[in-house]
Structure 1
Amino acid sequence: MTDLELAERAPAAADPQEQARARRAARIKPMGALVLAAMALGGFYYWFSNRNIEDTNDAFIDGRSVVISPRVAGNVVSLDVADNQFVHAGQVLLRIDPRQYQYERDLADGALATAKAQLAAQQYGFEVAQKNFPALLAQAQAQLASANAAFDKAQADYNRQRSLSKIATSAQDVDAAKAALETAKAQVALAEAQVLQASPVPQRVAEVEKQVGQLQGQVEQAQARLDQAALNLSWTEVKAPQDGWITKRNVEMGDYVAPGQQTFAIVAPERWVTANFKETQLTRMRPGQKVRIEVDAYPDLKLEGHVDSIQQGTGAKFTAFPPENATGNFVKIVQRVPVKIDIDSGLKQDEPLPLGMSVVPTVSLK
């Protein structure tokens, strides 16, 4: 018999409030049981439907940003792009006054022409030296041979004059023969000295060749200066290294810019998601798993992607001052690890995704 039937069969004299309380209790018990059953069923469904997914709201759109800086100094004479303009690789962004660099290039070109002329003259001299120095040695050797022959003849004449009787010759002839002999002897000594002077032919040729090498080095230096001057002149036109959007423009017409000064940043079209998952969420996460991405700015935009890679280090590890857990009192904090998620589909040209926009990625762990 139910509690309701017992309440109806109770004596009429019973307290009406107690009877009402009993009836309410009889009705609430089955409703409470239904609510508990519904909560248990809902909890089981939530666990069942979410047991193979991991998500985080600590995620944002990421991409590549290239800082554009001039390589030479000068005044900006032409500014060819505007804020947030899309540019292509090789497109001129700004121009620096080129007159100084044109002058330096022309000066280097003239120095190169002079060095080449000097080298050409020295090369001709080297070719002449290769022929002249052996010829000079041969000439000196021939003169020495002639001098030796003249000395032998003078020696023979002198000996003949001395061997003749006083009747057949005279003192004057003897003296003349002796003088001729001394002259021939001196000519031999002179010819020997000339041969000695002309003998180091390889060394003298090598000396001229070394001078050619020195001038060749000067030509190469002049060529390098010309190349550098031409390169500096080309750098007066600052060009885009890749396709992308102009951002953070920090230059105006007429500004003086210096090498290394940041003038633009170019954001490349490539996009991905950097999601900072808790370390406890990485147990079953692997590269290649499918990801559903929701963008806060575009609730209707549904992106699909996959896990590309997991960073080999927590975000805190690569900060300027990473934590030193070996000092002080240690408090365990759940760390977050950046996960790179590539976007496979869903991007729209009319809905740009600036870097840093918040997203919510949901990784399927199946």
Structure 2
Amino acid sequence: MSDEKVDAPKPEPEIPAPAPEAQAAAPASATPADPQVDPPSSWRPPDKSPTAVIAIVAVAVLAILAILYAWNLPPFSGWSEETDNAYVRGRVTIISPQVSGYVTRVPVQDFAEVKAGQILATIDDRIYRARVAQAEANVAAQQAALANSAQAQRSREVATDSQNAGIANAQAQLTKADADMRRARALVADGSISTREFDQTRAALLAAQAALQQARASRAIGTQDVRTVVVGRAGLEAAVESAKAQLRLAQIDLDNTIIRAPADGQLSEIGVRVGAYVTAGTQLLSVVPHHVWVIANFKEAQTGNMAIGQRARFSVDALGGVELTGRIENLSPAAGSEFAVLKADNATGNFVKVAQRIAVRIKIDDKQPVAARLRPGMSVEVRIDTSGGSKR
């Protein structure tokens, strides 16, 4: 028996069995196509009716037009202009006293409704009442001086009448002395009277002439006295008017110790308390009338087609975007930069064009209940229809 080792045969590698799906597919692919089976076809949606096609096209066109209108693009560009640089305005009146003093009463509260003439505060008036009394006394003194002037004029006129009588008496004495002198000349010629008597008669004549001149001078002095009184009366009358003016000023200061509302409206927060010392011009509070309007600042290029009377719509941020209507009432006579205290003056040569703003005043239409809630200073967004109105 041989010792040689016999090699065992190697096992064949196992071939995996095909999957059932492959087995099922293999015969199908191997089997020739059955002429009785329909070939597969692609899916097609059902045809739309003409009405549906027209509706889809119409919706698409409307959507495109809405986008063009919202973006203010042709063909809708130029029909309206809008800006968010707009605010509600009103005649806000700052209340300040015209006199100085301690505040004695503040009968109103913050944000209260007031009527024109209603008392808002009072200032201690004792000093101003004393000044009124002093001015009244001064008026009385000046009027008494004027009355005294009238009495002095009457007295001077009576003295003038007496001086007229003195002139008449001196004229009579002169006439008598002149007659005596004529007789004395005739008598002294024939020696009937002595030279001494003639000289006495002549002296009497000269004395009568001097007395007449003195009487006339006194009459002239009396006339000038009357004129002096009349001329001085004008100064006294002016003094009376000055005293009356001082009285009116004192009365005005007294009246100004009571601070009243200039118009109907609503108060701001009260900034003064009883006992505070205030001076002329001190800001105490503000009165806000209910009449308001809108000032919209448009770029200058937007105002080319704007005119008075054009319709405007604006939404108010503080009222949840509620929309109100109005009309253009007026346009500013100049750009806002022209009213600036410090005007821009670029002289360096590095010029950059900046669009200027033109203020447009909009009157709010009546019969809009929500308009009563508008307050000066509120922000609004304005859109103006520039297709109507008379251009200015």
Pick the TM interval, shorter chain: 0.7 to 0.9
Give the Cα separation in 2 of the matches to 1:39 and 1:328.
Answer: 51
Find the residue that maps to 1:249 and give its secondary structure. Answer: coil
Q: Deviations over 1:91-131 (max 9, x none)?
A: 11111111111111111101111111111121132234345
Moved more, 325-334 or 64-73: 325-334
Q: Structure 1-normalised TM-score?
A: 0.79
**Displacement, 1:230?**
0.9
8 A Cα contact 1:303 1:345, kept in partner: no
Find the residue that maps to 1:199 and give its secondary structure. Answer: helix
Find the residue that maps to 1:77 and give its secondary structure. Answer: strand
Give the Cα separation in 2 of the matches to 1:349 and 1:88.
Answer: 22
Specify every segment of 5 or more residues in structure 2 that has no aligned partner in the other structure, as ranges.
1-28, 30-41, 46-55, 388-392
Structure number with larger C-alpha Rg? 2
1:288 aligns with 2:314: no
**Structure 1 partner of 2:273:** 252
Specify every segment of 5 or more residues in structure 1 that has no aligned partner in the other structure, as ranges.
1-11, 13-22, 28-34
**Structure 1 partner of 2:165:** 139
1:70 aligns with 2:101: no
**Structure 2 partner of 1:182:** 203
8 A Cα contact 2:324 2:371, kept in partner: no
Moved more, 73-82 or 350-359: 350-359
Residue identity opposite 1:246 in structure 2: L
**Structure 2 partner of 1:31:** none
1:227 aligns with 2:254: no
Give the Cα separation in 1 of the matches to 2:355 and 2:216.
Answer: 95
**Structure 2 partner of 1:58:** 85
8 A Cα contact 2:292 2:375, kept in partner: no
1:317 aligns with 2:338: yes
Give the Cα separation in 2 of the matches to 1:37 and 1:336.
Answer: 40
**Displacement, 1:268?**
1.3
Find the residue that maps to 2:203 and give its secondary structure. Answer: helix
- Give percent identity, aligned residues only: 29
The 3 A distance-change label for structure 1 pair 126 and 106 is: same
Q: Structure 2-normalised TM-score?
A: 0.75
The 3 A distance-change label for structure 1 pair 316 and 153 is: closer
Give the Cα separation in 1 of the matches to 2:372 and 2:145.
Answer: 66
| Aligned residue-pair number | 332
Give the Cα separation in 1 of the matches to 2:60 and 2:183.
Answer: 147
**Structure 1 partner of 2:38:** none
Moved more, 226-235 or 189-198: 189-198
**Structure 2 partner of 1:342:** 363
Moved more, 330-339 or 100-109: 330-339
The 3 A distance-change label for structure 1 pair 322 and 162 is: closer
Matches within 5 A, 1:145-294: 145-156=171-182, 158-159=184-185, 162-163=188-189, 175=196, 178-179=199-200, 181-199=202-220, 203-294=224-315
Give the Cα separation in 2 of the matches to 1:288 and 1:350.
Answer: 19
**Structure 2 partner of 1:88:** 115
Residue identity opposite 1:343 in structure 2: I
**Structure 2 partner of 1:126:** 153
**Displacement, 1:77?**
0.8
Residue identity opposite 2:93 in structure 1: V
Give the Cα separation in 2 of the matches to 1:118 and 1:276.
Answer: 65
Residue identity opposite 1:152 in structure 2: D
**Structure 1 partner of 2:385:** 364
**Displacement, 1:164?**
6.0
Give the Cα separation in 2 of the matches to 1:87 and 1:307.
Answer: 30
**Structure 2 partner of 1:102:** 129
Give the Cα separation in 1 of the matches to 2:91 and 2:372.
Answer: 18
Residue identity opposite 2:119 in structure 1: V
8 A Cα contact 2:331 2:359, kept in partner: yes
Q: Deviations over 1:202-236 (max 9, x none)?
A: 54432221011111111111111111111111111
**Displacement, 1:316?**
3.1
Moved more, 306-315 or 75-84: 306-315
8 A Cα contact 1:307 1:340, kept in partner: yes
8 A Cα contact 1:317 1:323, kept in partner: no
